[in-house]
Amino acid sequence: MARELSAHMVYNAPVRSIDYTDGIATVTSDVGAYRARRVVVAMSPAISGQIDYRPGLPAARIGIHRGYRMGAVSKFAALYKRPFWRDKGLSGQVYGAGRPVDVTFESYAEGNHILMGFISADAMRRLDHARESTLVRECIANFVEYFGPEARDFVDYGVFKWDLEPWSRGGPVAVSRPGVLTKYGTGLREPVGPIHWAGTETSDYWTGYMDGAVRSGRRAAREILDDLR
């Protein structure tokens, strides 16, 4: 897919506005403007309102933009030479009460054995502006608690603060406040002129996951093909 699409991809081009005043969409990004008969906005509703829509959007869609906010979960991964937890008969998977890491999974990549931990949302918000060394120390302390002192002997680690990423504003998914879908639910998927809405939050199956994101893309493509037929 990436190979087939690559010639048509424009990277590092944040979209600032979509003007559909004359029925055709003009999408203006930092690297240029594009005209199209149809546009798919495949972003979380928590950030798709950052784009300036002209001549504006229906109340239901605005309600969706205002009613969703991003989660604040992140991942911490520590790399080890050996899967030492297996020597103890442990699977590497934990559902615990630890903070910041309360869920872990084991993984393997390029010769490294990996313990991956989800950093829960409240803990991540607290650590967003902490030193990285503090974050690493706290995560490793949880791994030690779960798997033993060998967890301190990691050879490398990886962490990404999604909350601070301006084009995501968090993860893994946007969630709506109570009542938002009841009042404004039609705005989640209903096209506005030439603008169609995709992204995992619009999927009615596996919303919040890659599966939902792919399904939403297929649904938006079907909408457009049916419309243009």
Ligand X SMILES: Cc1cc2nc3c(=O)[nH]c(=O)nc-3n(C[C@H](O)[C@H](O)[C@H](O)COP(=O)(O)OP(=O)(O)OC[C@H]3O[C@@H](n4cnc5c(N)ncnc54)[C@H](O)[C@@H]3O)c2cc1C
Please identify, among the stretches 76-84, 134-142, 181-189, 202-210, the one whose residues bind ligand X according to the rule CB under 6 A: 202-210
Does the footprint of ligand X cover residue 74 (CB under 6 A)? yes
Tell me the one-letter amino acid at 136: V
Q: Of 154 and 200, which has the nearer Cβ to ligand X? A: 200
Q: Of 84 and 213, which has the nearer Cβ to ligand X? A: 213
Does the footprint of ligand X cover residue 168 (CB under 6 A)? yes
* Chain position whose Cβ is nearest to ligand X: 171
Q: In degrees rounded to 5, what are phi and psi of residue 121?
A: -60, -50
Query: Distance (Å, rounded) from C-alpha 131 to C-alpha 134?
Result: 5
Q: How far is the CB of 133 from ligand X (least distance, A)?
A: 21
- Select the residue interacting with ligand X from 26, 66, 208, 224 (CB under 6 A): 208
Does the footprint of ligand X cover residue 162 (CB under 6 A)? yes
- Select the residue interacting with ligand X from 45, 63, 100, 171 (CB under 6 A): 171
Q: Of 185 and 208, which has the nearer Cβ to ligand X? A: 208
User: SS3 sequence, 38-95?
Assistant: CEEEECCHHHHCCCEEECCCCHHHHHHHHHEEECECEEEEEEECCCHHHHCCCCCCEE
Which CA distances in Å does 218 have to 181, 213, 221?
22, 9, 5
Does the footprint of ligand X cover residue 70 (CB under 6 A)? no
Q: In degrees rounded to 5, what are phi and psi of residue 210?
A: -55, -40
- Select the residue interacting with ligand X from 31, 33, 130, 210 (CB under 6 A): 210
Phi-psi region of 199 (alpha: psi -120 to 50; beta: other; left: phi over 0): left
Does the footprint of ligand X cover residue 53 (CB under 6 A)? no
Does the footprint of ligand X cover residue 47 (CB under 6 A)? yes
Query: Distance (Å, rounded) from C-alpha 167 to C-alpha 37?
Result: 25
Query: Distance (Å, rounded) from C-alpha 191 to C-alpha 81?
Result: 51
Give the x-and-dash track for 8-27 against ligand X (CB under 6 A).
------xx------------
Please give the size of the binding site for ligand X, defined by CB under 6 A: 23
Q: How far is the CB of 112 from ligand X (least distance, A)?
A: 18
Does the footprint of ligand X cover residue 172 (CB under 6 A)? yes
The site for ligand X (CB under 6 A) is made up of: 14-15, 42-44, 47, 50-51, 73-75, 162, 167-168, 171-173, 199-200, 208-210, 213
